[in-house]
Amino acid sequence: MTLSVREATPSDAATILRFIRELADYEKAIHEVEATEEMVRASIFGEGSVTRALIAERDGAAIGMAVWFFSYSTWKAKNGLYLEDLYVTPAARGSGAGKALMRRLAQIALDSGCGRFEWSVLDWNEPSIRIYDAIGAEPQKEWIRYRMAGETLERFARG
């Protein structure tokens, strides 16, 4: 059984959307998914997109994904790599697919001159937290993540 990680292509849009929905269901937020296959295709693979994706495959079948983009650190004056979503199908968990996706992202970060590789995890997602701790990642407990979206974003932008 061969595990491989490759760059996603536009033909992977349906698979990426399926994985997004499965991840959202796991995170108890399926009701928040607005993405469609067309939106995924345009936002990840469209002209000018800054978002990228990787697909993990076992014997040619997609079993996981990572969606990422470059961020920027003013303090380091370097790009960073931000992992937006990491997902491995339930049947493939524990097979090394998640670690392979993370390792490929770490390689991309180094090859691209990034000063760091970051992501967020839900505080109740203990299996993922254990994995991140095991690979040497450090939680950034001094930071609180904020978000503005939807009507709040529109209202604030319009003053």
Catalytic positions are 132
Closest alpha carbon to 94 in 45, 134, 127, 133: 127
Spell 120-134 as b/e; 16+ CB within 10 A means b.
ebeeeeeeeeebbee
Spell 9-19 as b/e; 16+ CB within 10 A means b.
eeebbebbbbb
Cα of first residue to Cα of last residue in the chain, in angstroms, is: 56
Sequence-distant (≥ 6) Cβ neighbours of residue 71 within 8 angstroms: 79, 80, 81, 82, 118
